[in-house]
Amino acid sequence: QGDSADYDSEVESVCPFCGVGCQVSLKVKNGKIKYVEGINGPANEGRLCVKGRFGFDYVHHEHRLTKPLVRREGAPKGLNVDPGNWQEVFREATWDEAMDLAAGGLARLRDDRGTTVAGFGSAKCTNEEAYLFQKLIRQGFGHNNVDHCTRLCHASSVAALMENVGSGAVTATFNQIEHSDVAIVIGCNPVENHPVAATYFKQFTKRGGKLIVMDPRGVGLRRFATHMLQFKPGADVSMLNAIMHTIVEEGLYDQQYIDAFTENWEAEKEHLKQFPPEKMEALCGIPAETLRQVARDFAGAKAAMIFWGMGISQHIHGTDNSRCLISLALMCGQVGRPGAGLHPLRGQNNVQGASDAGLIPMFLPDYQPVGDDGVRSAFTEVWKSGDFSAEKGLTVTEILDAVHAGDIKGMYILGENPAMSDPDVEHARDALAKLEHLVVQDIFLTETANYADVILPASGFAEKSGTVTNTNRQVQMGRPALAPPGEAREDWAITVDLAQRLGLDWHYDSPADVFAEMALNMKSLSNITWDRLERENAVTYPSLSPQDPGQAIVFGDGFPRADGRARFTPASVIPPDDLPDADYPMVLTTGRQLEHWHTGSMTRRSKVLDAVEPEANCSLHPSTLRQLGVEPGGMVRLTTKRGSIDVMARADRAVAPDMVFLPFAYVEAAANILTNPALDPYGKIPEFKYSAVRVEKAGVV
Ligand code: SF4
């Protein structure tokens, strides 16, 4: 930190990493970001974590793409390109040549072979870029085969929320915990993955709030917890149903709230009879008396919130897990008041906004169904175009399966890295290699760009204008502090150029134009204008007037469902898909670490973050390491039915003896070589959190 003499200019923007959406001030000197400070945004009040404070320098990394690249004739596709030495596989091209090749290849597939082009957009891009991307696929190719990484993180939470509450976003901001007296944090590790949100959770306990932490790993918040329930992986439904059973059996539910605001209560009540804690304790590994005490504490709260993460959503029963959490809140009347609410902690900085902007195969912007003729015609009227398919499109993993089946032949991928992020990633990589035409738009030569025919150099967060929406429904203004390096361009401008070369009559002068078009068909943006965001930096949706900063709490007077009532949807116990056996006796779970973000393309190119956490690693219980004859820091081999990797092992008492935790940021030990692609039937999200695995000392023949 320093004074104004330390920098030439300062620009207010938003941290590019997690869904907390901390506002930052970028201090720039001689065309480079010198340092970053937190400012007084609604979600962070000046706070930043290590990523936000020190993880900015990737934008200056020597690997940045500065010119368009095209694949050399006959160069093989695969993970064979050194980002610092790509010349054997790619050659530089002018923008004109690269865009003609990119658009020409996609147009040929469209015109000769029908609907064989699909798109992955990005939750790292702005709302305007997400909106343009889904519009390009729908208007330009006539179908809805467009998706993004929400499919890999909270799709099942959104499915359950849409079904039972009528809206996929949080009902209360996480900051509302200051008005709570009880909070459940389940299936997430905010200390590492939403660190600034975690500071609010810790403050809540300091002033006497009861924190109930539930996770198969003993995550960082356990030190602050009144109850730490380290349950068996995959046993969420049995544990949550046992807690709700107690609330019913002991008459602790809020009958007045249930009568006024919900439906299907009798069916839920009947269903829960099968789940007494005494019967469930063996299944979930939590003593019946603890389950009962947690039930009493939650039901006795004046105001309670439930926070959850991908430990809930990334299961084949992820939608059922979320249904249980929704039912628990509803039966206790814990929605729609200060300090009460449901809050899935969103992962990426703009995964909420990208989903709101329609970057999903079943919904147009604002979750308006693609199958509704009136909805489609409202959009085509604004777009001045013909109709497009009423059929839901394919999701992320389904698109890659369709490539294998020969039904998808070309893709446009913006800012996503499926060659690292998808389950059973060798299957995903094979699909990328099979594509006849792949256009990748990114800031680095990512693992996915290794498979591209054309690579379009794009802009990092500090180089672009645009809005992003955080986990709290706060739409925030991102501003450019730097010009993109070399010939790199802002993503929205590249997508517009591509659309024009695909024959679409698109004219936008700036992201502000795009935002204005979005607002025409997105009620969530009522009273939120570009100018207002320029002035105020952030507005929470819904905003009820041009002066209203937005509603931190929603659904106090009913739900956006047909009859205004939320619904109880009973959930039964479904075991994980890939259960341990004699060959694969342990459970593998994957996730993130504090210092690294997702597939590592940004944070592993940040000096400070990479210095703190430079090496691929996994965590095992000390007793497990002893049994294997491996010292902490030694190498282990992890093998599942999909493949095998060697990785350094750390001793960690927070991991149960029959589990291994593996971060997915490291290409040299790619976690997703091991993960199971089995899907939740509703959210179509893969079961990243549970695979049967064999763990051995590496190098032993
Ligand atoms: Fe960035 Fe999230 Fe850290 Fe805030 S908590 S500084 S948004 S990574």
Instruction: State mean pLDDT over 629-653.
Output: 97
Instruction: State mean pLDDT over 338-342.
Output: 98
| Contact call for residues 475 and 519 (beta carbons, < 8 A) | no
CA distances from 692 to 123, 312, 534, 583, 623 (A): 30, 18, 50, 9, 19
CA–CA separation, 525 and 1 (whole Å): 36
Query: Is the predicted pLDDT of residue 429 greater than 70, yes or no?
Result: yes
| Mean pLDDT over the full length of the chain | 96
Closest ligand 1 atom, residue 52 Cα:
6
Chain segment 221-246, per-residue pLDDT in tens: 999 999 999 999 999 999 999 999 99
Instruction: State mean pLDDT over 566-589.
Output: 98
pLDDT (0 to 100) of residue 91 = 97
> What pTM was computed for the model?
0.96
Query: Is the predicted pLDDT of residue 2 greater than 70, yes or no?
Result: no
Is the model more confident about 113 or about 329?
A: 329
CA–CA separation, 141 and 399 (whole Å): 15
Tell me what ipTM this predicted complex has: 1.00
Chain segment 270-320, per-residue pLDDT in tens: 999 999 999 999 999 999 999 999 999 999 999 999 999 999 999 999 999
Instruction: State mean pLDDT over 257-268.
Output: 98
Token pair, residue 447, equals 């693992």
CA–CA separation, 519 and 84 (whole Å): 42
Chain segment 55-68, per-residue pLDDT in tens: 999 999 999 999 99
Q: Which amino acid is at 447?
A: E
- Residue 189, SS3 per DSSP: coil
Token pair, residue 64, equals 């940045």
- Residue 205, SS3 per DSSP: helix
Closest ligand 1 atom, residue 48 Cα:
6
* pLDDT category of residue 405 using cuts at 50, 70 and 90: very high
pLDDT (0 to 100) of residue 5 = 75
Distance of CA 162 to the CA centre of its chain: 17
CA of 442 to the centre of ligand 1 (A): 22
Using a 10 angstrom Cβ sphere, with 0-12 exposed, 13-18 middle and 19 or more buried, the burial of residue 646 is: middle
Q: How many CA atoms lie within 13 A of 210 on its CB side?
A: 17
- Residue 635, SS3 per DSSP: strand
Q: How many CA atoms lie within 13 A of 197 on its CB side?
A: 26
* pLDDT category of residue 4 using cuts at 50, 70 and 90: low
| Contact call for residues 225 and 272 (beta carbons, < 8 A) | no
pLDDT (0 to 100) of residue 3 = 62
Length of the chain counted residue by residue = 701
CA of 49 to the centre of ligand 1 (A): 5
CA–CA separation, 538 and 469 (whole Å): 9
| Contact call for residues 99 and 119 (beta carbons, < 8 A) | no
Closest CA to 393 of 150, 144, 159, 149: 144
Chain segment 352-400, per-residue pLDDT in tens: 999 999 999 999 999 999 999 999 999 999 999 999 999 999 999 999 9
- Taking CA atoms only, the protein residue closest to ligand 1 atom 2 is 18
Token pair, residue 89, equals 């596989």
| Contact call for residues 109 and 438 (beta carbons, < 8 A) | no
CA of 654 to the centre of ligand 1 (A): 24
CA of 549 to the centre of ligand 1 (A): 22
* pLDDT category of residue 48 using cuts at 50, 70 and 90: very high
CA of 76 to the centre of ligand 1 (A): 39
| Contact call for residues 346 and 473 (beta carbons, < 8 A) | no
Q: Which residue do the tokens 């340092």 mark?
A: 35
Closest ligand 1 atom, residue 21 Cα:
7
Q: Which of 35, 37, 44, 191 to mutate to test the pocket of ligand 1 (most atoms within 8 A of CB)?
A: 44
Closest ligand 1 atom, residue 597 Cα:
8
Query: Is the predicted pLDDT of residue 430 greater than 80, yes or no?
Result: yes
CA–CA separation, 158 and 156 (whole Å): 5
Q: What is the DSSP pairing of strand 659-663 with strand 586-591?
A: parallel
- Taking CA atoms only, the protein residue closest to ligand 1 atom 4 is 22
Which residues form ligand 1's pocket by a CB distance below 6 Å?
15, 17-18, 20-22, 44, 48-49, 51-52, 194-196
Q: Which of 24, 26, 39, 48 to mutate to test the pocket of ligand 1 (most atoms within 8 A of CB)?
A: 48
Query: Is the predicted pLDDT of residue 458 greater than 70, yes or no?
Result: yes
CA distances from 567 to 160, 295, 574 (A): 10, 20, 21
Instruction: State mean pLDDT over 183-191.
Output: 97
* pLDDT category of residue 219 using cuts at 50, 70 and 90: confident
Closest ligand 1 atom, residue 17 Cα:
8
DSSP 318-345: HHHHHHHHHHHHHHTT-SSSTT-EEEE-
Query: Is the predicted pLDDT of residue 1 greater than 70, yes or no?
Result: no
Q: Which of 13, 18, 345, 352 to mutate to test the pocket of ligand 1 (most atoms within 8 A of CB)?
A: 18
CA–CA separation, 296 and 447 (whole Å): 49
Residue 247's DSSP bridge partners are none
pLDDT (0 to 100) of residue 81 = 86
Closest CA to 588 of 663, 650, 646, 669: 663
Closest ligand 1 atom, residue 24 Cα:
6
CA–CA separation, 432 and 400 (whole Å): 8
* pLDDT category of residue 701 using cuts at 50, 70 and 90: low
Q: Which of 40, 194, 351, 471 to mutate to test the pocket of ligand 1 (most atoms within 8 A of CB)?
A: 194
Which residues lie closer than 8 Å to 214 by C-beta, 6 or more apart?
A: 184, 185, 186, 187, 228, 229, 231, 239
CA of 22 to the centre of ligand 1 (A): 6
CA of 68 to the centre of ligand 1 (A): 31
CA–CA separation, 392 and 370 (whole Å): 6
CA–CA separation, 586 and 216 (whole Å): 13
DSSP 443-473: SS--TTGGG-SEEEE---GGG--EEEE-TTS
CA angle 108, 111, 113 (to 5 degrees): 90
CA of 19 to the centre of ligand 1 (A): 7
* pLDDT category of residue 114 using cuts at 50, 70 and 90: confident
Closest ligand 1 atom, residue 43 Cα:
4
CA of 509 to the centre of ligand 1 (A): 31
Q: Which of 37, 44, 51, 192 to mutate to test the pocket of ligand 1 (most atoms within 8 A of CB)?
A: 51
